[in-house]
A and B are shown apart, each in its own frame.
Chain A
Amino acid sequence: MDGSRRKANVRVKYSGESVPKPKMPTPEIVVDHEPEDDTASDAEYSDDSDALEPAWSNSVHKDSGELFYLEAGKPVLSPRETNKGSTTPKDTTPGKTNRKGIAQLQKVLKVSKSRDSTPQSSPNGSRFFSRTPPGSNHKLRRSSPGSQSNGGTPVKEVILKVGTSPPGSPKDTLSIRLQGWLGIVPGKGATDLLSGSVMGNGREHKNGGPVRVDDRLMVRGLLPQGAAMKSAEIEIGDVISAINGVPVSYSSAEAVLNSMEPVKQVRLSVERAPSWNGQIPSPVVCRPPNGTLVKMLNNIAEAASKQQDQQQQGKEEGNPHTSPGDDVPCAIMYLTLVRDSDSDDAQEVLYKYPSSSASTKFKDINGLFITLGDMLMNITGSKITCTSLEVGDELVHVGYHKWGSELLVLAFPACFASKHTVQCMVQQLARLLNFMFLSLNRAFSERRNHQRLDHLFALLFHQVLVDRSQLEPRKKHKEDIFLQMLPGVRWLNLPDQDKLNVDCCLSELEAADFADLCDRHFDYRRPYVILGSCLLYKGYILANHLPVDDLMDVHLYVQYYSLSSLSTQQAVGQLVIWREVFPTRRVQPIEAPHPGYTEPQGRWFLLIVGLKHSVLCVLLEAGGCASPCEGVVYPDEFYVDQSRATLLHLETLDVPSACEERLKVPPIPALSCADWLFPSPRRGSFDSSVPPRPHPDSPMLSKLHSQSQTPLKGKKPESPHMPHKRSSSPTPPVSFLSVSPNPSRKPTSTSSRTESDNESDSTSPHNSRTNSTQSSPSTTRRSDSRKESDASIGSVGSSEIYRAVRRGRLIPDPYSMGVMQRAREETSSPDYFTATKLTSGRDNTMFHYVHLDPAAGILITPTRSDLAFLGGVIHSQLVDNFQQCCKVIRQQLTLHAHLRPKDQLSGKTVLRCDALTVLREFGVSFRCHPENWPEKKQPPSIKYWVVGRLIKGPRGPKECYVCYHDSTTQNTLELAFKLVFGVGS
């Protein structure tokens, strides 16, 4: 029973390295990290696939090896609720007791399904090398030996020599004894009642199917030097039914072992399923149909097997209820120039979507696009980008991407997408398709790709047409129009502690230091090298260890497959995506290679694993220093599991809840809502949107400050730590690990552990290796970590804030008057929020901001929940206006940024005129009134500025867009710079 609550978290000591290691199958060895309130990893959530057969294996595309598996999540419950009362005394066992055991542990073996699946695997059944489709593992399924339904499980007797003499302390736990004596990692048996397969570790999950956790003692792992491993008789998944003839169960084993004298030999009775093949699993797919997005995303799996009559989008078949696009003239086509004029017209159109009547028009005039593209190349000497047409009475913008003699054409009505948007979209699509298919030609000319393309474009058209037409009042999507066009991913600024956790977890995954993958132990090269990974939470990036070009590729994939909106809208049960990709950075290198170094050539694979609101994207490389691969490559379960384990591990580290907390706190840096600037008219309904004001004389001193001042009490005693932290941060290798124990955050047991960690780290010779000279796949990673430590200097104040806030977050309703009053009473030191307020003066006058660092691929802007927090009718209008205006501003700023060298002049070309060559800053001021002003008088109005600015940086210009009230006089400079050098970077 307690086993089910164990954390998926194991410490590994391998060749001296001492870093926490996530392990997918959660061997019950050591509970390493104990969140103080047990918020994470509850069984409700852990929809992991601990079954021997992953649930997604049936979704793997047989020809291409691609996988797009999505399983909708369950209704979200608050983690705290679901965990109530589940905390067992064992869970809070300090890690110290087990520390010795860990230290002895040379390696942890992965307990996994599909162990022996690979035909070419080594005799002792190592199967990490498998690149076979997981579907082929069916014959190798284990059934549960102990279950009554599978009668006739053979029992064999194994005699093992006890290895290192155990300490013999009666306090030793079962696991220590078994490990120390026999090299067996014990676990509880579990049976999935649906498929009859053995589950690992007693996790009650499996696609929502009923699972029985039983009390059998099961082998969850084998230690490499242990007796069990040497004997080669015992395999993972075996059930130990008796020890020395004494029948044992998981609960009784400890007593049995304790009662035994230290002996040289132990006789184990081992049960194993008779045959591995008879059991074809009933595909355990229960996908609650929540949301069309899930349906649409899942479409690809169905499209692979079924015909398109099940199309959810309904465009193809004219499905009445979901076909807003039927009469909307929109289309995407891939055209080629056919030189033979006598050939059929249709051959020129290699691909087209959708096939609604309105879009047939575009097919009819495809010759127009081809001719234009060709002709204008001759006349003006530059590539065609955009055309405006009037179809019927509707203005339609057509964007082009010209590639050789082929032309990618995207058409949208002007009311859905502006000219600039269409242009950006088609460029992004071209990049995405290149990323997915190597080249546009390959993507479109091979017929088998068409279904996948249909799926992608169905999503795109859904995003553009349905969302924007139906959700227009909410303005949410309009806002995203600008952000989508930016070469950056929205970033969520987390407290240092959580940033550190995330980075450590990703680094660990990238280090690929899995026990099974030890080259020394098995004579195989590892199948993939992890080039880097990035973690997204609800569409915000938490950490990125990818080069920026790769990040952009991945980001486009996530964005165009609606994964970010999916993970924002609902908790995903399980998401696994696997496909071969062709990173832009490698395939179309822009930079000149560094002399003396060439990037290894190989094949690259994108692995995306999603769990609830988190999405982890991993870029893998085969070839290079990993073993080369040929032919169709199927998803590697091992890497899927490891990625998933990382996500689970992050969950135990409280990262998702930290993100939630971060999303719940008031905006940092503080923002003002435009509505607060207006005096409330005498109308009740209006008041509801305007929060009550604590300071009547100063409306701008917003309650959001006083609110977050609540935890201020707790800040005072912490202050001694802050100088310490500051002083340690300039030396990255030290500061990276030596996070000062934070009493407000951790219970004492954990902090003492942290300290002991630091001690052991500082004495370990491998410490420096871990931190700085780790064989990182890219230099970006290192600079990232340095950058973060730098940033921590600047943002100490703010991160202290949310840390404090999360502890004392007692604010159920941000607008609750009672809370605010109490907050005001407790307010003592006003210096607290000056750290987060960017403008000077008494009132905060900043409404909104966007900061883009193209060199890092990072976009910083208030989160969606910040906007929801601020609320306000006028404010949402203002933000909308801000986005629209930024589009204009950015167009100008970037238009003149990349100048063509003038020596390309040829007599024939019509050159762009560039008067505003070096534009640095562009500002616009607006005036707005509240709508429906009830009083007769002239409505009050406020004036505000939207300013965009290019800031020169060592790695290219950064872009910064700020929206602030007119009363801010010449604060732009200060604003921009605080934003960039303070919290922002």
Chain B
Amino acid sequence: MAVHLVCLTNEGGVPLFTRTKGDVKSLAFAEQGMLYGVQMFAQNHGVKLESTTTEEAKVIWQVFHDSVTLVLVTSNDGSCDIHYKTLINHIFHAMVMFIGLETLVSIRTVEKLRREIKVCYPVIDTLLQDTDLYGALSSSVDVLVSAENTTLQEPLEAFVTSAESTFGCLHADGKLVVATSNWWALSGQEMMLVAKFIQSLPIGTSSDVPIYLPHASPKDPHRLLSIHLQPGVVVSVLCYANPTLAEAEEQLIEPAWRLHHEALRAIQRAPSSNIPRTIPLDAGILGYVLLNTDQHKCLSSVRLPLIAGGAAELKPLPPYARREILTAFYRTVVGGLFPPSLSPERQDSSGEAYKCLPHSAEETYMCGDDFKTYALNSGGFQFFVLFSSAVPQYAMRSVTKNLLGTLSKEKIFVDRRTKSS
């Protein structure tokens, strides 16, 4: 997947930055100018240019707050515009998160902004890249379900309280493990962006950066302290002036987490299925994505181990292929058939293709030569499962339903918010 991202000032079209991913040359300056120019031309004629499709690619324009223009050129997979819009929206809010809305709305010196904006690159790059995580796609935060979830809640609460805050969470490999109830009150996009930022931190380091929560406090920054407890396991807290990073590292970590060393180790070694080994998985399942659309949680894995003798072993699919298929399936179904889960504050009608259908879709499946997929939409959950092509068609439905039944009963995945609220 090749992606070009161009960010310009809406007035004057001065390029702020460009990012290019995939096996393509970056855009020439003239091309960037033209991409901006057509949009500006339309704007001057009172027309808003939204998107353009070619046989192979898709171009999305979006102007934020009449100040920043983002242009995204990416591969066209035939899915709804909503997914491209979501991505471009994430990118802008990632910029807001680091720079603040005010700076972006009223640009004073472009040169200064260009320098400041560099801090966003790691997060933007992760957003543009293909990952095994489906949080960005579904505007929700990736979570990890493990037996230790309940054990770790208590030390987290203690740590966050000692840091004079109510916002705190624990991430493992970019997935949220536990969080305080206030943290769960953030929007899915905010949680997802913070998770992406924490994932981008170098392993073994601690950081202290001011961040603006794009929806909760886009104008006032908070300090986000992130401290690695184990490689890949990061505890974060949002706080004001106190404590300093050094204080937190030296005085607060030790009392809260010392007793839970084993639990943290267990989190770090969590199985690649992202669910406890106690939950049985059908041998034909190669990957899954489970969304809690009310709570903006996303549980997914495309690295399910092949079970010896299972149906999936006959025609194995490499993880990258599984990820691509599942992503394409998700992008096709959501928006086209299932309602997308969006941040409530987003207002655009591009994702409403599914509303053309007079009846509501509940289940769907696809069969290809080397895969089968099945999706369910029921009761606040959207569940997408990738099967090996060896699985017979009649089995998919019951297997999917059973697994959804099991997972949706997992208190760890469902309960956090209800318990807190």
Contacts and interface: CB of A to CB of B under 8 A. Distances in A.
Nearest to B41: A368
A385 B53 CA distance: 6
A474 B52 CA distance: 33
Interface stretch (A44-52, A198-206, A374-382): A374-382
Contacts of A371: 34, 37-38, 41
Given A388-B81, A881-B357, A365 B41 contact: yes
Nearest to A947: B365
A917 B317 CA distance: 14
Interface in A331-383: 361, 364-365, 367-368, 371-372, 375-383
Nearest to B44: A365
A360 to B, nearest CB: 11
B10 to A, nearest CB: 16
Interface stretch (B163-171, B183-191, B322-330): B322-330
A385 B76 CA distance: 11
Interface in B16-61: 22-25, 27, 31, 34-35, 37-38, 41-42, 45-57, 59
A909 B1 CA distance: 11
Interface SS of A by simple majority: mixed
Given A389-B49, A908-B24, A418 B54 contact: no
A920 B31 contact: no
A911 B51 CA distance: 17
A364 B44 CA distance: 11
Interface in B324-360: 324-325, 327-329, 332, 336-337, 349-350, 353, 356-360
Contacts of B70: none
Contacts of B393: 970
Contacts of A888: 332, 336-337, 353
A296 B24 CA distance: 52
Interface string A580-592: 0000000000000
A241 B37 CA distance: 86
Contacts of B361: 885, 924-926
A384 B47 contact: no
A880 interface: yes
Contact of A969 (B77, B365, B370, B394): B394
A443 B189 CA distance: 52
A924 B367 contact: no
B249 interface: no
Contact of B73 (A418, A885, A910, A925): A910
B75 A361 contact: no
Contact of A376 (B54, B77, B359): B54
Interface in B264-319: none
Nearest to A364: B45
Interface string B348-388: 01100100111111111111111000000000000000000
Contacts of A391: 46-48
B24 A386 contact: no
B194 to A, nearest CB: 28
B358 A920 contact: no
B4 interface: yes
Contacts of A384: 52-54
A383 B55 contact: yes
Contact of A925 (B53, B77, B363): B363
B47 A892 contact: no
Contact of B77 (A878, A881, A913, A919): A913
A280 interface: no
Contacts of B74: 910
A392 B50 CA distance: 13
Contacts of B407: none
A901 interface: no
B2 interface: yes
Contacts of A376: 52, 54, 57, 59
A194 interface: no
A390 B48 contact: yes
A910 B24 contact: yes
Interface residues of A, number: 64
A471 interface: no
A377 B75 CA distance: 14
B231 interface: no
Contacts of A977: none
A376 to B, nearest CB: 5
Interface string A885-916: 10010011001000010000001111111111
Nearest to B55: A382
A358 to B, nearest CB: 12
A421 to B, nearest CB: 11
Contacts of A171: none
B23 to A, nearest CB: 8
B78 interface: yes
Nearest to B2: A910
A928 interface: yes
Contacts of B45: 361, 364-365, 368
B358 A877 contact: yes
Contacts, number: 198
Nearest to A942: B359
Given A907-B24, A915-B327, A387 B78 contact: no
A389 B75 CA distance: 20
Contacts of B365: 921-923
Interface in A241-255: none
Contacts of A392: 46
A912 B55 contact: yes
A916 B373 CA distance: 10
A892 B73 contact: no
A625 interface: no
A385 B54 contact: yes
Interface string B92-104: 0000000000000
B38 A892 contact: no
Contact of A383 (B38, B47, B54, B362): B54
A724 interface: no
Contact of A912 (B77, B349, B353, B359): B77
Nearest to B363: A925
A884 interface: yes
Contacts of B37: 371
Contact of B369 (A390, A395, A920, A926): A920
A937 interface: no
B364 A911 contact: no
Given A368-B38, A928-B359, A891 B55 contact: no
Given A390-B47, A928-B359, A385 B2 contact: no
Contacts of A842: none
A418 B366 contact: no
B55 A884 contact: no
A916 B386 CA distance: 12
A943 interface: yes
A385 B363 CA distance: 31
Given A907-B24, A909-B56, A885 B75 contact: no
A260 interface: no
Nearest to A388: B50
Contacts of B350: 388
A927 interface: yes
A103 interface: no
A533 to B, nearest CB: 35
Interface string A183-216: 0000000000000000000000000000000000
Given A384-B52, A884-B357, 12 more contacts: A361-B46, A364-B45, A375-B31, A376-B59, A379-B31, A379-B35, A379-B57, A388-B350, A888-B353, A907-B25, A909-B24, A917-B369
Interface of A: 361, 364-365, 367-368, 371-372, 375-392, 395, 418-419, 877-878, 880-881, 884-885, 888, 891-892, 895, 900, 907-928, 943, 969-970
**A-B interface, 10 closest residue pairs, ranked by CB to CB distance from nearest:** A915-B324, A380-B57, A390-B48, A915-B328, A918-B369, A382-B56, A382-B55, A910-B57, A921-B367, A926-B359
13 contacts: A368-B49, A372-B52, A378-B31, A380-B57, A384-B53, A386-B53, A389-B47, A884-B357, A912-B57, A912-B78, A915-B324, A916-B325, A922-B367
